[in-house]
Structure 1
Amino acid sequence: MLDRLDVASERKHFLFQIAETRYDFVRTVDRRPNGEVLMLAERHEPRGLPGPVFIKRLHTPGTRARRQRLREEVQLAYRLRHPAIAQVHHFKVRERKPYVVMEYVDGPSLDLVLCLMALRGRPVSVAFALFVGAELADALEHAHSLTDDAGRPLGLVHRDVSPRNVRVARDGMVKLTHFGAAYSQLVGRVETQGLLRKGDVAYASPEYLALEPLTPASDLFSLGLSLLELATGRHLFQAALDGGATDADHGVRVEEEPSLPLTCMLAEVRRYTPEDVAHAVSELPEAFGAALQRALRREPESRQASAGALRDALRDALALEQQRNGGRLYGRKEVAEELARLISDTSAVRDQVELEDEDLFPLGVGPPALSHPSGCGPRG
C-alpha cells in the first residue's frame, strides 16, 4: 500500500492505470509533513518504451470545500504551458487518495543545490543565480498573466515559490513545480480559508504571513528570498533558524509543517529593514543587488510592477555579468556544466547529509540530514 511506503523496502510495483497507460512506482523522492509524497514512477504506454514521470500523492482533503479547491487547483495547473513550468499531465483518485501525474525533470531541486553549496562551502556563481532567477520570473509572468476561456484574468498566484519547488535539470533547464498551492482571484471559485496557510513559510511574503490579500507581488518576494540564498548561501531571515515559540502556542493552523517556526518568521518579517536587505546583497553586483532589494520590499506595491519587470532586471544584470566575464555567454549549457561541477565537488563529502535524490551520486548517501529551512543543515 502506498500509505506505508518504506524507503528500506521500496521496490517497483503497480500504482494505477489511466486509460491504457500504466504507472509503476519506482522510488520516493520527497515526503512532506502534511502527508504529501512525491514519487518517481514509470509510464508504460501500450506501444513504445517506458518513460519516467513524477507522481505526487496529495493529502486527502477532509471537507467538500477542500476537495473542490483541490480540483480547481489542478484545473488551473492544466492551463500552464511554459518551458520553465513542469507540466501537469493527469489527476487521478485511487482508493480515495488524489494523485497528480507531472512532468519528470532529470535533475535536483534547488533545495538540493543549496545543500550541495553548503557541503562545498561556497555558493554557485552569480551568473547561475541570475539565469535561474530570470527563468523563474519568466515562468511567473506567464502564470500571473493567465486568463480563462472568456479572457478574464485568473489572478493566479503560486504562493509557494521556494527552493523545494524548483528543479534544475542536468541539461540546464529550470522548472517551477507544485502549482497545487496556487491561488486564483477569479470571482466564483472556492477561496482558501482565512486562517489557512499553504506552502513553505520560510519563503513567504509579509502579506501572506499576515493573511492579507494576495497579489502576484507575493511571488516576487518569495523568488527574491530564494535567489538571495542561492547567490549568497544565506537566508535573509537566518536569525529565525534558532527557533522560538511554536505555532500551536499562538493558535495558528497551517496545512504544511513550516521549515521555520511560523512565529519566528512573523517576528523577523515585522522587524527587518531595507538596510538589512542592502547589507545582505552588499557583496553582489550592483544591478543584481538592486533587483533583489526591490523584490524584497515589505510593501507589495513597492516591488517590481510585474514578474516580467523582475525578469528583465535579472536579464540585464546577467548581461552585465557576461560583459565582466569577457563577453562569455551564460545559458543552459553553462548551467548544466556548473551543476555537474557542483555535484563533482561535493561527491567526496556526500555521506555528511541525507540528500533527496539517491541517484545524484553513484554510491548513494548516508546519515539523516540536519535541521535547516532547506533541509540540509546549517549554511553559514
Structure 2
Amino acid sequence: MSGNDSGNDSQDPLEHEPAERSRPILFSHGDTDYLRLQKLANGPNELKRFLCLPRTGGREGPLVEVVVLEPDAHWKRLARLKDVAALGARLSHPAIPRTHGLFRHGDFRYLVTEYVSGISLNMAGHYGCVRQRNLSEAFMFYVASEAAGALSYVHTLTDEARRPLGVLHRGVDPYNLIVRHDGAVMLANFMSAFSRLAGREPTSTCVLRGEIDFAAPERLYPMADGVVDARSDLFSLGLVMLEMTTGQQLYGTDQVEQAAAELPPGHPGDEGGGPWLSEQRSWTTVEEMARRAAAFRPEHIEHLMRDVSAPMRRILHKLLRRLPSERYPSAAALKADLDACLGALGRPYGAREALAELLEARREAESGDGPIELVPSDENERRAGELHLAARD
C-alpha cells in the first residue's frame, strides 16, 4: 500500500479534461493516468466512487474502482481511508479484491481497488423475484461456502508478531457478495471493516457501519453476552442466505414487525448506548431495526423456511441465533457444514454450475414482461464494466 504524493497540480481532477474528451482523466499517479469511465453509486459517508481504466504509456491495465476524498473532507474521513488502505495492503486472498493503493494528487486522495466484473447476490435475488423462483439451495451452499472461506481468512489474520488483528468485515450483504464471470465468489468492499491495526482511528460508537438490514443484533443494541466479533459477520451471512433461499429479509417481515411493536418499554433495544445513526441509507432507522433484532424468534425463521430443506434449515437456525455464543464458533466451522451439504448433493456443484444457473436466471428474468424494474444501480455498474471489457477484447 502506498500513500504517495503525485504532482502538485491543484486543479480539480473531477473537472480535468484531456484532449481525448470521451475518456477524461480522473487523476494521474506517476506515469499512469486513471481514465474515468463511469460514476458509480456513492460509498459510505457519500464518498464519490468511479469506474476507471488505468493507462500507462499507452497500455491499458485492468479496470479499477476509485474512491475520491475531496480536499475539504473532515480529517476523520482521511484517517478512515488510510485505515482501509492499510488493511487492504494486508489482504491477499483470491476471493477478496486487491487494494492497489491510496494515492494523492494535488489536495485530493484516491483509494484504488480491483474492479470485480460479475453479478451481485442482490441482482441474483432480483432475478428470482422477477421470474418468481429463487436460485437453488445448491447455489447458496456454494456461494456461502466460498464466502465463509474468505471470512475465515479475514477473521484469522495476524500482524507480523502473529497477534490477531480482529478483522471484521461488517458489510456482509447481497451487494458485497459477487459471482464473477468465471463462477468464483468475491467478498468485496472493506470500507466498513474493523481491525486492531496499530494507529487505527477508533470507530465511533454512535454510527453503525455497513447495511443495517444485515447487521447482527449485538451490533444494533447493547445486549448481555453480545460481544461483537467474527460471529457477527456470520449472522450477517445467515441473513443473506435466508433472503436468497426464501426471498424474504428477516427484519423486514410482517411477523417480526408485529413482534417488535409488541415489545414492552425498556426492552434491550431501548436501553441506549448503542449506535443511533447509520452511515448508509436504509428504509428505516437504527432504533427500529434494533427493535426488530430484539424481537425476532426462532419460530419466525422457521416460518420463512417452511419450503426449505432440512440441511439448510439446520444451518440457518444455527447462524441466526440472537446470542453469538449459540452460533457457529467460526467461519471455518460453517464452511465445513456447507461443504458437507454440497458433498451430499450426489452431483458436482461448483463455480461452473453456479455461473450457469445464475446466467440462466438472468436470461429468464430478462425475457419476462413483468412490471418489475430489472436493472437497479449495482447491475448498471457491473454491466458498465462488462461493456468496457468487451470493447477492449
Q: TM-score, normalised by structure 2?
A: 0.80
Q: Distance in 1 between matches of 2:235 and 2:70?
A: 27
Residue 269 of structure 2 corresponds to: none
* Alignment deviations for residues 52-101 of structure 1 (CA, whole Å, 9 cap, x no partner): 22223358895434432331222112211111111111212445444321
What secondary structure does 2:154 align onto?
A: helix
What secondary structure does 2:170 align onto?
A: coil
Are 1:179 and 2:190 counterparts? Answer: yes
Are 1:276 and 2:300 counterparts? Answer: yes
Residue 125 of structure 2 corresponds to: 114
* Distance change >3 Å, CA 273–CA 156, structure 1 → 2: same
Residue 66 of structure 2 corresponds to: 55
- 1:290 pairs, out of 295, 298, 314, with 314
* Distance change >3 Å, CA 18–CA 229, structure 1 → 2: same
The 8 Å contact of residues 35 and 58 in structure 1, kept in 2 or not, is answered as no
* Distance change >3 Å, CA 138–CA 259, structure 1 → 2: farther
- 1:317 pairs, out of 317, 341, 363, with 341
The 8 Å contact of residues 242 and 316 in structure 2, kept in 1 or not, is answered as yes
Q: Higher mean Cα deviation, 79-88 or 27-36?
A: 27-36
* Distance change >3 Å, CA 15–CA 219, structure 1 → 2: same
Q: Distance in 1 between matches of 2:70 and 2:330?
A: 32
Are 1:347 and 2:347 counterparts? Answer: no
**Is there any run of 5+ residues in structure 2 with no aligned partner, and where?**
1-11, 16-20, 262-271, 387-393
The 8 Å contact of residues 203 and 226 in structure 1, kept in 2 or not, is answered as yes
Residue 4 of structure 2 corresponds to: none
Shift of 1:261: 3.1
What secondary structure does 2:243 align onto?
A: helix
Q: Distance in 2 between matches of 1:346 and 1:33?
A: 30
Residue 53 of structure 2 corresponds to: 42
The 8 Å contact of residues 68 and 110 in structure 2, kept in 1 or not, is answered as yes
* Distance change >3 Å, CA 76–CA 104, structure 1 → 2: same
The 8 Å contact of residues 251 and 257 in structure 2, kept in 1 or not, is answered as no
Q: Which amino acid aligns with 1:301?
A: S
- 2:253 pairs, out of 229, 239, 242, with 239
Residue 378 of structure 1 corresponds to: none
* Alignment deviations for residues 339-372 of structure 1 (CA, whole Å, 9 cap, x no partner): 211111111348842422338779x9xxxxxxxx
Measured on the aligned residues, the alpha-carbon RMSD in Å equals: 3.1
**Is there any run of 5+ residues in structure 1 with no aligned partner, and where?**
5-9, 365-380
Count how many residue pairs are aligned between Structure 1 and Structure 2: 350
Are 1:130 and 2:152 counterparts? Answer: no
Q: Higher mean Cα deviation, 130-139 or 190-199?
A: 190-199
- 1:358 pairs, out of 370, 375, 380, with 380
Q: Distance in 2 between matches of 1:297 and 1:234?
A: 17
Shift of 1:235: 0.8
Shift of 1:47: 6.0
What secondary structure does 2:278 align onto?
A: coil
The 8 Å contact of residues 118 and 178 in structure 2, kept in 1 or not, is answered as yes
The 8 Å contact of residues 105 and 169 in structure 1, kept in 2 or not, is answered as yes
Q: Which amino acid aligns with 2:286?
A: L
What secondary structure does 1:156 align onto?
A: coil
Q: Distance in 2 between matches of 1:349 and 1:124?
A: 16
Q: Distance in 2 between matches of 1:314 and 1:36?
A: 36
Shift of 1:329: 0.3
- 2:158 pairs, out of 136, 140, 147, with 147
User: Mapping of 1:125-274 within 5 angstroms?
Assistant: 125-185=136-196, 189-210=200-221, 213-239=227-253, 252-274=276-298
* Distance change >3 Å, CA 281–CA 183, structure 1 → 2: same
Q: Distance in 1 between matches of 2:70 and 2:148?
A: 28
What secondary structure does 1:358 align onto?
A: helix
* Distance change >3 Å, CA 76–CA 361, structure 1 → 2: closer
* Alignment deviations for residues 26-71 of structure 1 (CA, whole Å, 9 cap, x no partner): 1134335731343221111336444322223358895434432331
* Distance change >3 Å, CA 37–CA 68, structure 1 → 2: closer
What secondary structure does 1:55 align onto?
A: strand
Q: Higher mean Cα deviation, 111-120 or 178-187?
A: 178-187
* Alignment deviations for residues 172-208 of structure 1 (CA, whole Å, 9 cap, x no partner): 0110111121112457633201112111000001011
- 2:96 pairs, out of 48, 62, 85, with 85
What secondary structure does 2:277 align onto?
A: coil
Q: Which amino acid aligns with 1:229?
A: E
* Distance change >3 Å, CA 38–CA 311, structure 1 → 2: farther
Q: Distance in 2 between matches of 1:349 and 1:39?
A: 31
The 8 Å contact of residues 40 and 54 in structure 1, kept in 2 or not, is answered as yes
Please tell me whether Structure 1 or Structure 2 has the larger radius of gyration of its CA atoms. 2
Residue 7 of structure 1 corresponds to: none
Identity %: 30
Are 1:105 and 2:129 counterparts? Answer: no
The 8 Å contact of residues 257 and 292 in structure 2, kept in 1 or not, is answered as no
Q: Distance in 1 between matches of 2:367 and 2:164?
A: 50
